[in-house]
Amino acid sequence: TPFTGIVPNNSPKLMDLLDDTVPGIGTYEDFNTIDWVREKSKDRDRHREITNKSKQSTVALLFSISDAFSGWLLMLLIGLMSGALAGGIDIAAHWMTDLKEGVCLNGLWFNHEHCCWASNETTFQERDKCPQWKSWAELMVGVSEGPGLYVVNYFMYMCWALLFAFLAVILVRAFAPYACGSGIPEIKTVLSGFIIRGYLGKWTLIIKTITLVLAVSSGLSLGKEGPLVHVACCCANILCHFFTKYRRNEAKRREVLSAASAVGVSVAFGAPIGGVLFSLEEVSYYFPLKTLWRSFFAALVAAFTLRSINPFGNSRLVLFYVEFHTPWHLLELIPFVLLGIFGGLWGAFFIRANIAWCRLRKNTCLGHYPVLEVVVVTLLTAFLAFPIEYTRMSSSELISELFNDCGLLDSSKLCGYTSNSGSASGSVNATAANGLGARLAGPDLYTAMWQLALALLFIPSMAVGAIAGRLLGVCMEQLAIRHHERDIFRGWCSPGADCITPGLYAMVGAAACLGGVTRMTVSLVVIMFELTGGLEYIVPLMAAAMTSKWVADALGRESIYEAHIRLNGYPFLEAKEEFRHKTLATDVMRPRRGDPLLSVLTESGMTVEEVERLIADTTYSGFPVVISQQSPRLVGFVLRRDLVISLENARRNQEGVVSMSPILFTECDPPMSPSAPPAVKLRSILDLSPFTVTVHTPMEIVVDIFRKLGLRQCLVIQNGRLLGIITKKDILKHMAQMANRDPDSILFN
């Protein structure tokens, strides 16, 4: 359904008229940028009309009230739907990840953990071993020990992974090509005002939800936050269709999508405040304060919906919620900053490698076989992942285990200290006597460390950071225990308590790597704060996030999202970085020196045929209207699409319109002979208040105006005469040129 609207400053009567007669005016074509000023004016007109009517009747008053609260209702629905979907995805992914290893005899629908909970025969120490849970080898071959078992399980694991990945890629290719990738670069672009039809549609939602489960279960390396943001935005976009206020206004809809991104992060990390800040800091373009409050509401509703579904059975929102007990020491800031440096380096490296791979796939024949690519990658991942315990589990489980603080009864290998593992190692010397020996590393911990180091190679950013952090944390811990009598470690260790918390290092490492890749700062720290709940752990996280951002920025200014936006040539005007070059509007405007003159319309004196020829000869998306060619003083601006639709409409519906009919943009009709063909009056589609700058205006100010007001184009004037035009694309090309990049990489308007 095309949604109709009008250019600003038409009277309400005219608006209704236009609404009825010329559908399509005020709409946009696919892969084009919206005009924020026009959309906001449309919304204000609508609001004004409803307010005026509400004084006339009770029904209209009720409608006006329901209209005012529809935003809140929409937020509630988005929160409920996204929370429920996220819960479903978590449960399904958990079950299917376990399906790769075996099944539960009590019921196919139990995952490993639930299966053994239901069983009464397990002890607390061996929670994950129970007779009801059968690995595939036990079930098929009947053996319960020996190398055969291992080989069969290995084979089945790879088969399932392959099946899941194959299904996922086929589904995406067949039904919803937009469902691939993380989605955040595209959502950023959409929020900045770009139109990609179908990117947030119902097919994309269905396929993305299913493939997210499949991809996570197949063990492929991906973070969940990007897809969950995409899923939440799809929900929001679909729900917008039930509210006229949002369905028919691109700017209002983008406010809702901003809130939906907050919801996505809220359910991915269980951090509603962090989600809102993520939307504000990272994704959104236009974020008025009203949206802040509504986003927060939606993010909270989603978080509580997810909690009431309770996908992890611990009444926490995410698997990796933690509580630490040991305070950190000032000297530990050194390893935290080291983790920050590591995260920054890793982020810069990851972005380059990722972009290089995408470019390779785009430019070579590799891009023609996506199914094969996925199958090969999945097979390789599964083949390498199975032997190591830490890569076999899903990445959330891995992160959860890494963040965990070792309790007394913890059976994880990562807690394989001498006291826990029971095997008194040779190194238990005097330290054991004074109570510190309990934290000396045992053989289990060493095995875990080696496996983790191997696992570093193929997992998503957060897990890489968490592993690196945990490794460093354990090293620091052992160092502090073994040298606890040295001056620098004095006071760190006391009998019966931990010296340091390796789990905190894992969390700091995860934050550093995620920060290096995404360049998030405040939102990252707040997300991690919401995971731990302790204000005192903010300082390490902040030190690491800051270092990581500085290091990564020094190696390349772009985050992974911006790099992908640039790779795809989307017209995205980054709000964060300032334009610092000393060029003027005259250097950027078209026509350049030597080019043919600017194509303009005159407010009177042109015929239908002349205008149609101008439209056919050019590809510009709009034309300035001036008083006359000789005196190019600006009257207004008319959009190509509106002009085309109006002319077609006049040819079809207005009597007597021929090629020689004059076109009038003037307010009053000039005198005409009665025999002349009737004029086509187009003042109603004319934007009488186009934005203008002078030729001397510095580009830094022009860029600022475009960003802050969300313009599509701006006219350039000198001493009252129209000289040229600057579009968003011109600005992006100019910026690319000033940064020594290819200006032709900007593909869209």
Residue 9 beta carbon to a copy of itself: minimum distance, rounded to whole angstroms: 5
Least distance in angstroms from the C-beta of 60 to a copy of itself: 17
Q: Cα separation of 650 and 671, whole Å?
A: 21
Q: Which of 326, 447, 521, 654 binds a copy of itself (CB under 8 A)?
A: 521
How far is the CA of 459 from the CAs of 32, 230, 466, 524, 599, in angstroms?
36, 21, 11, 20, 54
Give the largest Cα separation in the chain, rounded: 114
Sequence letter at residue 491: G
Smallest gap from Cβ 580 to a copy of itself, in A, equals 6
- CA 585: distance to chain centroid? 33
Contact track, a copy of itself, 635-654, x by CB under 8 A: x-------------------
Site size for a copy of itself, by CB under 8 A?
Answer: 66
Q: Which of 704, 736, 738, 743 binds a copy of itself (CB under 8 A)?
A: 704
- Is 112 in a helix, a strand, or coil? helix
- Residues 6+ positions from 413 with CB-CB distance below 8 Å: 389, 444, 445, 447, 448
433 is a site residue for a copy of itself (CB under 8 A): no
Per-residue tokens: 323: 């509580």
CA distance 34 to 644: 18
Distances (CA, A) of 479 to 424, 473, 475, 486: 19, 10, 6, 10
Which stretch, 21-29, 499-507, 701-709, 728-736, contacts a copy of itself (CB under 8 A)? Answer: 701-709
Q: Which two tokens stand for residue 88?
A: 């479903």
When binding is defined by CB under 8 A, the residue of 241, 362, 708, 741 that contacts a copy of itself is 708
Query: Which positions from 569 to 588 touch a copy of itself by CB under 8 A, shown as an x/- string?
Result: ------xx-x-x-x-xx---
Binders of a copy of itself in range 34-93 (CB under 8 A): 37, 40-41, 44, 47-48, 51
User: How many whole angstroms separate alpha carbon 537 and alpha carbon 543?
Assistant: 10
For residue 644, the cross-strand partners are none
What character string, x for contact with a copy of itself (CB under 8 A) and - otherwise, covers 259-298?
Answer: -------------xx--x---xx-------xx-xx--xx-
- For a copy of itself, the closer of residues 206 and 538 by Cβ is 538
The residue (of 102 and 636) whose beta carbon lies closer to a copy of itself is 636
Q: Is 662 in the site for a copy of itself (CB under 8 A)?
A: no
Residues whose CB is less than 8 angstroms from the CB of residue 207 and which lie 6 or more positions away in sequence, other chains included: 171, 172, 175, 176, 179
8 is a contact residue toward a copy of itself (CB under 8 A) = yes
Omega within 30 of 0 (cis) for the link into 591: yes
Nearer to a copy of itself, 206 or 709 (CB): 709
Are the C-beta atoms of 32 and 748 separated by less than 8 Å? yes
Task: Give, as ranges, the residues between 577 and 636 that touch a copy of itself (CB under 8 A).
Answer: 578, 580, 582, 584-585, 627, 633-635
Shortest Å, Cβ 262 to a copy of itself: 11
Tell me whether residue 156 or residue 511 sits nearer to a copy of itself (CB atom): 511
Residue 220 in tokens: 């492929």
- Which of residues 158, 216, 232, 303 is near a copy of itself by CB under 8 A? 303
Q: How is residue 67 written in tokens?
A: 């209209």
Q: Listing from the earlier edge strand, what are the strands of the sheet with 721-727? A: 692-694, 713-718, 721-727
Using rule CB under 8 A, residue 741 touches a copy of itself: no
Q: Got the DSSP string for 170-219?
A: HHHHHH-GGG-S--HHHHHHHHTTB--TTTTSHHHHHHHHHHHHHHHHHT
Among the listed ranges 166-174, 196-204, 405-413, 716-724, the one in contact with a copy of itself (CB under 8 A) is 716-724
Interface residue with a copy of itself among 302, 693, 732, 735 (CB under 8 A) is 693
Q: How far apart are the C-alpha atoms of 86 and 228, rounded to whole Å? A: 7
Among residues 705, 737, 738, 743, which is the contact residue for a copy of itself, using CB under 8 A? 705
Identify which of residues 299 and 680 has a Cβ nearer to a copy of itself in the complex.
299
522 touches a copy of itself by CB under 8 A: yes
Structure-block tokens of residue 79: 């929160």
> How is residue 581 written in tokens?
């070059």
Of 118-126, 209-217, 418-426, 527-535, which part binds a copy of itself (CB under 8 A)?
Answer: 527-535
Q: Which amino acid is residue 463, in one-letter code?
A: A
Instruction: State the minimum distance, in angstroms, from the CB of residue 679 to a copy of itself.
Output: 20
Q: From the CB of 119, what's the least distance to a copy of itself, in Å?
A: 30
459, 461, 465, 468: CA torsion to nearest 10: 30
- Comparing CB distances to a copy of itself, the nearer of 300 and 511 is 300
Identify the residue among 193, 227, 311, 690 touching a copy of itself (CB under 8 A).
Answer: 690
d(CA 114, CA 109): 9
Count of helix runs (H) and strand runs (E) in the chain:
30, 11
| Least gap, CB of 695 to a copy of itself (angstroms) | 8
Binding mask 438-477 for a copy of itself (x = CB under 8 A): ----------------------------------------
What is residue 570's three-state secondary structure? coil
Distance CA 664, CA 603 (A): 6
Q: Which stretches of the chain bind a copy of itself, using CB under 8 A? A: 8-9, 37, 40-41, 44, 47-48, 51, 272-273, 276, 280-281, 289-290, 292-293, 296-297, 300, 303-304, 521-522, 525-526, 529-530, 533, 535, 538-539, 542, 546, 575-576, 578, 580, 582, 584-585, 627, 633-635, 688-690, 692-694, 696-698, 700-701, 704-705, 708-709, 717, 719-722
